[in-house]
Amino acid sequence: MQDWNPELYMQFSAERTRPAQELVARIAARLNVKQAYDLGCGPGNSTELLRKAWPQANITGVDTSPAMLEKARRALPDCHFVEQDVLRWRPDGPADLIYANASLQWLPDHASLFPRLASLLAPQGVLAAQMPDNWQEPTHAAMRTVAKAMGMTVKEREPLLAVEAYYDLLSQAGCELDIWRTTYFHLMPSVDAIVEWLRATGLRPFLDALDETGQQHFLDRYRLLLSQHYLPRGDGWLLLAFPRLFIVAHKK
């Protein structure tokens, strides 16, 4: 898959950063952090929140995208950033905080991943994760519908596990759990704006599998399906429902 586009990703920076802020706010008051890791740090917008919450901590951002990491290093020269796959990542020592904002949903086999991350925590450490839970939303169902109509076979992200499964996995790994789901309703000016949002994230596996002509054909059909689901309200704005799952696991 092609590298991420930081500029495209940050077009909706306020909407993307808000869940990260709410996740930090849920844990900041109760946690003393010396070693923190931001998994899937992207351009550093979430890492910046960790730096503000724990200014004395050693903070490391982990990502596979050179473009994202370059932007993060420029924005936060006092943090450390490494290019590495989270599936193979290990901290130098026990972590006080492993933080993952909208990144772990891209990784497979959560039944193994989450217990492994919990095992890397120091005593009293916290695993804090936020993941889009929109696999069944019209935005994502329409991607699969268009891909099927075009005869495409695309390896996309997997749906999340049931909430009960995450609870069982992490409680059995010795953690106390705080789990909640929030649905944000983002005001969008048009269907085209929704497409632009998703071009930076969910649409990437589908568009990367096509040439320029194929991409345009895919997007034309995709816009048509979205226009049937996302209708302008009385003032002309569209409401984009965006469910997200939050997990805070505190190591006993």
Query: Would you say the pTM of this structure is higher than 0.95?
Result: no
- Extract the tokens encoding 203: 């649409």
Q: How far apart are CA 37 and CA 100, in angstroms?
A: 8
Within 8 A by CB and 6+ apart from 29, the residues are none
Query: Which H or E run contains 188?
Result: strand 175-188
Task: Round the average pLDDT of the chain to a whole number and report it.
Answer: 92
Q: How far apart are CA 81 and CA 36, in angstroms?
A: 12
Query: Which H or E run contains 82?
Result: strand 80-83
Question: pLDDT at residue 80 above 80?
Answer: yes
- 88-147 pLDDT, tens digit each: 999 989 999 999 999 999 999 999 999 999 999 999 999 999 999 999 999 999 999 999
pLDDT band for 9, please (50, 70, 90 cuts). very low
- Extract the tokens encoding 35: 């070693």
Comparing CA positions, the residue from 50, 49, 65 lying closest to residue 95 is 50
pLDDT band for 16, please (50, 70, 90 cuts). confident
Query: Which H or E run contains 89?
Result: none
pLDDT band for 15, please (50, 70, 90 cuts). confident
Neighbours of 44 (CB within 10 A): 25
Comparing CA positions, the residue from 143, 160, 148, 170 lying closest to residue 229 is 143
pLDDT band for 12, please (50, 70, 90 cuts). low
